[in-house]
Amino acid sequence: MMKYQNILVKDLSENIRLITINRPKQLNALNKQTIEELHQALDAAGKDNKIRAIILMGSGEKAFVAGADIKEFMHFTPAEGQALSETGHRLLFDFIEQMHTPVIAAINGYALGGGLELALASHIRVASENARLGLPEVSLGVIPGYGGTQRLAQHVGKGRAMEMILTARQIDAQTAFTYGLVSEVVPLDKLLDTAVAYAERILRNSPRAIGLAIEAVNAGYGREGFRAENRLFGKAFGTPDFKEGTTAFVERRKPEF
């Protein structure tokens, strides 16, 4: 199996592969390299006929993924911002959504920004009781750029999605369950077993039919909104609010918009 720097890949059984995002000191924030590595690992798993379910989790007990890596993109131009979003969609978020091998997100803590977007792109979500979910991008002067403006609305409805995105608030795991955002909430020490139980239920079914079902479900959703998100995400990078929001984050203060 390939060697990665920012992820861990482990087979839990002959048919179930666990991929762990492993930058715990940065709360598993997604920088370019991590996205590239996740792409390679998912692509390899998707091409491996033996692997019939994939579980995604964050390392440590605090975070699934705390978002895109703010420190990496804070000095980007609008064109670089738009490219970041487009590349992310292609390598990871759209890529997962379209995989014929089901991906289960085991949300073991913070799933914020790109972290929630990663869970939203996955086919099934389960969360631990300590999980906190949200799209805080507008508090940084930017917008969700990894599919959140589209997929959150697909999952919870436009009204709740709009409210969560505009307030930038975090919701707890129980609220996420009430919203239909996660299938189940369990104690942290039961989370992986719970994800495995979903994977085992999947294993009983036809892998070919599963792939076709994923494709059919996805076909019901248009692409126009995703293109708008790419463009508007880039546009935000040209605003003074983006500079203020990201600078305030690294200076650990509240932004003044």
Angle between helix 158-167 and 148-156 (nearest 10): 130
Q: Name the 3-class secondary structure at 173.
A: helix
Indicate which single residue of 9, 59, 69, 191 sits in contact with ligand CAA (rule: CB under 6 A). Answer: 69
Hey, which bits of the chain come out as E strands? 7-11, 16-21, 53-58, 63-65, 103-107, 110-112, 124-128, 132-134, 171-172, 184-186
Smallest distance from ligand CAA to CB 203, Å: 33
Distance in Å, CB of 71 to ligand CAA, minimum: 5
- Please, what is the Cα angle at 159 between 83 and 241, to 5 degrees? 40
From candidates 46, 67, 234, 245, binder to ligand CAA by CB under 6 A? 67
145 neighbors 88 (Cβ within 8 angstroms): yes
Task: Name residues whose C-beta falls within 8 Å of residue 71's C-beta, 6 or more positions apart in sequence.
Answer: 250
Tell me whether residue 14 is one of the annotated catalytic residues: no
147-179 burial, b at 16+ Cβ within 10 Å, e below that, comes to bbbbbbbebbeeebbeebbeeeebbebebbbeb
Site membership for ligand CAA, residue 234 (CB under 6 A): no
Indicate which residue of 86, 97, 117, 229 is catalytic. Answer: 117
- Chain positions 8 to 37 lying near ligand CAA, rule: CB under 6 A, are 26-27, 29
Binding status of residue 109 toward ligand CAA by CB under 6 A: no
Q: Is 117 a catalytic residue?
A: yes
C-beta of 102 vs 145, nearer to ligand CAA:
145
Binding-site member from 7, 9, 45, 66 for ligand CAA (CB under 6 A): 66
Instruction: Figure out which of the listed residues 102, 136, 234, 245 binds ligand CAA, where binding follows CB under 6 A.
Output: 136
Beta bridge partners of 133: 111, 171
The answer to the question of residue 81 lying near ligand CAA (CB under 6 A) is no
Determine phi and psi for 182, rounding to 5 degrees.
-130, 150
Using CB under 6 A, count the residues that bind ligand CAA: 22
Running DSSP on this structure, what letter comes out for residue 25?
G
Collapsing DSSP states into helix, strand and coil, what is residue 224?
helix
Minimal distance, residue 117 CB to ligand CAA, in Å: 6
| Nearer of residues 15 and 26 to ligand CAA, judged by Cβ | 26
Tell me which residues touch ligand CAA (CB under 6 A).
Answer: 26-27, 29, 66-71, 110, 112-114, 117, 136-137, 140, 142, 144-146, 148
Catalytic residue list: 117, 137
